[in-house]
Amino acid sequence: MTILKKSLTVAAMEAAQSPESGPQTLTVSVGPQHSGSGHMRLIVELDGDVIVKVAPDPGYVHRGIEKICEVRNIIKNIPVIERPAIIDSSNLNHAYILAIEELQGVEPPLRAKYLRSLLNEMNRIMSHLYWLSIFGVFVGHTTMFMWPLGDRELFIDLAEQLTGARITHSYIVPGGVRRDLPQGFAEEAVKRTEYFEKRLKEYDKIFFDNPLFSSRSKGVGILPREDAIALGCTGPTLRGSGVDADLRKDEPYGAYSKLDFEVPTRDEADSFSRAYVRMDEMRESCKLIRQIVKEIPAGPIRRKAPIVLPRGEAYSRVESARGECSFYMIGEGGDKPYRVRIITGSYRNMAAIPAVLKGGHLADIRTPWLTLWNSVVRRDR
Amino acid sequence: MSAQKPAQQDEDPLEMLVGGLSVWVGKLNEIVRKVVDETPIRNIINWGRIYSMWPVNITTACCSAEFGAASGARHDLERFGVLPIGSLRQSDLIVVEGTVTKKMAKRLRMIYDQMAIPRYVIAMGDCAISGGLFHDSYSIVNGAHEFMPVDVYVPGCPPRPEALEQAIIMLQEKIRHSKVYSQG
Amino acid sequence: MSAPLEREETIIKKLKEQFPSDIKASRIIRRSRPEITVAPEKIQEITTFLRDQLGFDHANGVSGVDYNREARFEIVYHTSSLNNKEMRDLVLAVKESTPRNAPKVPSLVSIWPGVENFERETFEMYAIQFDGHPHMEKLFLLDNWDGPPPLRKDVRVPTD
Does residue B25 belong to any structural domain of this protein? Answer: yes
Work out the average pLDDT over C93-116.
88
Report the share of chain A in percent with pLDDT over 90: 34
pLDDT at position A20 over 60: no
Average pLDDT over residues B66-88: 85
> Is residue B14 in a domain?
yes
Q: Does A147 touch chain C (CB under 8 A)?
A: no
B184 band by pLDDT with thresholds 50, 70 and 90: low
Q: Is C134 on the interface with B (CB under 8 A)?
A: no
Residue C2 has pLDDT above 50, yes or no: no
Model pTM score: 0.88
B137 CB neighbours in chain A (<8 A) are: 63-65, 67-68
Domain membership flag for residue A89: yes
Alpha helices in chain A (DSSP H): 2-15, 65-69, 77-82, 89-104, 110-139, 143-163, 185-203, 211-217, 225-230, 236-239, 247-250, 271-295, 345-349, 352-357, 366-372, 376-380
Residue B48 lies in a domain: no
Please state the CATH superfamily assignment of the domain spanning residues C6-114 in this structure.
NADH:ubiquinone oxidoreductase Nqo5 subunit (3.30.460.80)
Give the domain range for residue B110.
54-176
Contact flag A156-B69 (C-beta cutoff 8 Å): yes
Q: Is the pLDDT of residue A192 over 90?
A: yes
Q: Nearest residue of A to residue B71 by CA position?
A: A146
pLDDT bucket at C1, cuts 50 / 70 / 90:
very low
Question: Closest approach of chain A CAs to the CA of C94, in angstroms?
Answer: 13
A25 domain residue, yes or no: no
Residue B36 belongs to what H/E stretch? helix B8-38
pLDDT > 90? residue A222 = no
Q: Are residue B13 and residue B64 in the same domain, yes or no?
A: no
Of residues A327 and A58, which shows the higher confidence score? A327
Quickly list DSSP for C6-68.
Answer: HHHHHHHHHHHHHSTTTEEEEEEEETTEEEEEE-GGGHHHHHHHHHHTS---EEEEEEEEEEG
Same domain, B71 and B143: yes
Are B91 and B130 found together in one domain? yes
Cβ of C142 under 8 Å from any chain A Cβ? yes
* C32-50 per-position pLDDT tens digit: 888 999 988 888 889 898 8
**Residue A4 near chain B (CB below 8 Å):** yes
Structure confidence at residue B3 as a pLDDT band (50, 70, 90): low
The answer to whether the CB atoms of C141 and B139 lie below 8 A apart is: yes
pLDDT at B155 over 90: yes
Q: What's the rounded mean pLDDT across residues A265-292?
A: 90
Residue B13 lies in a domain: yes
More confident residue, A375 or A194: A194
| Predicted confidence (pLDDT) per residue in A88-142, tens digit | 889 999 999 999 999 999 999 999 999 999 999 999 999 999 888 888 887 888 8
Tell me which residues of chain B have a C-beta less than 8 Å from any C-beta of chain A.
Answer: 56-62, 64-66, 68-69, 71-74, 86, 88, 99, 101, 103-104, 106-107, 110-111, 113, 133-134, 136-140, 157-158, 160
Assign A195 a pLDDT band (cuts: 50, 70, 90): very high
Q: Whole domain around residue A272: which residue ranges?
A: 65-354
Is A183 domain-assigned? Answer: yes
> What is the residue-averaged pLDDT of chain B?
85
A121 vs A215 pLDDT, higher one: A121
CB A242 within 8 A of CB A269: yes
Interface mutation target, options A67, A231, A315, chain C, most CBs of C under 10 Å: A315
Taking phi over 0 as left and psi of -120 to 50 as alpha, with beta for the rest, C158 belongs to alpha
Q: Which of B136, B137, B139 sits opposite C142 (nearest CB)?
A: B139
* % of residues, chain A, pLDDT over 70: 90
Q: Are residues B115 and B61 in the same domain?
A: yes
Q: How many domains does chain A have?
A: 1
Residues B108 and B141 grouped into a single domain: yes
B49 part of a folded domain: no
A104 vs A283, A306, A315, A341, B169, CA distance in Å?
A: 36, 8, 13, 18, 50
Name every residue whose Cβ is closer than 8 Å to that of residue B183 and which is 6 or more positions away in sequence: B117, B118, B119
Range B131-158 average pLDDT: 89
Q: Where are the beta strands (DSSP E) in chain B?
A: 93-97, 100-101, 120-124, 140-141, 152-154
Residue C133 · residue C119 · CB < 8 Å = yes
> In this model, does residue B73 exceed pLDDT 90?
no
Neighbours of chain A (3+ CB pairs under 8 A): B, C
**Averaged over A162-167, what is the pLDDT?**
90
CATH code (residue A73): 1.10.645.10
- Rounded Cα–Cα distance for residues B37 and B181 (Å): 8
Q: Provide the number of structural domains found in chain B.
A: 2
- Closest Cβ–Cβ partner in C32, C57, C116 for A351: C116
**B133, pLDDT greater than 70:** yes
pLDDT (mean) for B136-163? 90
The conformation of residue A246, written as its DSSP 8-state character, comes to -
Q: Is the pLDDT of residue B57 over 80?
A: no
Domain boundaries, chain C: 6-114
Q: What is the CATH number of the domain that holds B104?
A: 3.40.50.12280
C157/B138 touch (CB, cutoff 8 Å), yes or no: yes
